[in-house]
Structure 1
Amino acid sequence: MHAMQYEITLPADYDMAVIRDRVATKGHLLDDYPGLGAKAYLIRERGVDGSPVNQYAPFYLWNTPEGMNSFLWGPGFQGIVDDFGRPEVQHWTGLAFTEGPASDAASTAKSAMRHRVRVPAGVRVGDLAAELGSEIGQLAREDGLIYAAAAIDPRTWEALQFSVWDHPSPKGQGDVFQVLHLSAPERHALPRGQQW
């Protein structure tokens, strides 16, 4: 599993209805995309759930590098580049994935939470990976959880937890996003549990 996200930060007075319309008309295009486990079409709006910015920030879980590459080098991502400029694409190596009690409610996903933290130099990475995997397993019991993943970027040593919920404003630490659409053509194929 590969986790990937890009963030397009928009002006404070940007009409977020433009992004909502974009997702409403184009979001379904990845509903059967080969190699894609799940894509959550995410926005943050300035002043909502503590967000300091307006932002479009889709988050992907890829089953295959071929799927990720065909998206990045193909017309889908080029459309983003044409409309907003080329964003930095962040990606993390997958550690763990789980589905929660609301996994059947994917079509009604309302929110997502992303928690990122730098891994201090003295921390044993294997221990941290196991801890993150364990935390994802604990999340699996939370009411309203659709799915959750943990990952690490070994270039920057940033750890990530990402979760999708069937209700707005989930509790916990991290950035809260609104989910406008969820494409999950191969979510069933994402490996469950620890991935090493």
Structure 2
Amino acid sequence: MLALQYTVRLKADVDADMIRRRVAERGSLYDNHPGLVMKSFLLNEEDQVYAPFYIWRSEEDWKQFVFGDLFANLAAAFGRPRVRTWFVLGFGHGACTDQPRFAVREVDVIAPETSLEAVREREAALQAQMLTKPGLYAHSIALDADRWELVRYSLWCNEAASRDAAVGAQSDCVNTYEVLHFSEPGGRG
């Protein structure tokens, strides 16, 4: 699996309401998209960013999207954004089955002297703990082997749980978002 995220900085002529309308109109196009594990349409109004986060089943599915009409339409509307990609090391669902409404993305740098196997084992244990947290819908861990960074991405069904996760994060960088729409074509299976 591959994770993908791009960020669109909202300019004076693009406000949060315009993003909300666009997502309301176009979000369902992803509800049954082949190869898509999940997509979160994310907005951080305070930071003025629209930053969708995807998990794709394979590299081929990711390529079909990036070279396809949906991404071309985004690029036509906002300019072609820089797309970050990561190898997914772990993905799982929590106990909450309501639609996720909030997301937390953490980024941590992996020190050069750190054993990658130790990192993988530590992250698997942390994910197992995370999956037991009340209010969690899903959690993923991904690796950027160019920058040697870990990305932990969690979806939450309520704001209090997401806020607690963000406050409790020990990462180098923590971003919080409102989930405007959530697509998970295969469901929780």
Compute the TM-score of the two structures, normalised by the length of structure 1.
Answer: 0.87
Number of positions where the alignment pairs a residue of Structure 1 with one of Structure 2: 180
What's the CA shift for 1:78? 0.6
Where has structure 1 moved over 6 Å in runs of 4 or more? Answer: none
CA contact (8 A) 2:103 2:153 kept: yes
Contact 1:42 1:56 in 2 (8 A): yes
Q: Are 1:94 and 2:88 matched, yes or no?
A: yes
Give the % identical residues.
32
Structure 1 gap ranges (5+):
47-52, 190-196
Match of residue 36 from structure 2:
36
| Ranges in structure 2 where 5+ consecutive residues have no aligned partner | none
Aligned to 1:130: 121
Q: Structure 1 residue 116 and structure 2 residue 89: aligned?
A: no
8 Å Cα contact 2:31-2:183 kept in structure 1: yes
Specify the alignment match of 2:57 in structure 1: 63
RMSD across aligned C-alpha pairs, in angstroms? Answer: 1.4
For 2:49 and 2:101, locate their aligned partners in 1 and report how far apart those are by CA, in whole Å. Answer: 16
Among 71, 75, 81, which residue is 2:69 paired with? 75
Q: Distance in 2 between matches of 1:36 and 1:176?
A: 22
Q: Is the counterpart of residue 17 in structure 1 residue 17 in structure 2?
A: yes
CA deviations 1:63-108 (Å, max 9, x no partner) are: 1222211110001111111011111100111111111010x21xx3
**TM-score, with structure 2 as normaliser:** 0.90
CA deviations on 1:20-56 (whole Å, 9 max, x unpaired) are: 000000000010011000000001011xxxxxx2000
Q: CA deviation at 1:133?
A: 1.7
* Contact 2:93/2:188 (<8 A) preserved: no
1:12, 1:133 → 2: CA distance? Answer: 42
SS of the equivalent of 2:133 reads coil
2:119 alignment partner AA? L
Native 8 Å contact 1:12 1:54 kept in 2: no
Matched, 1:142 2:136: no
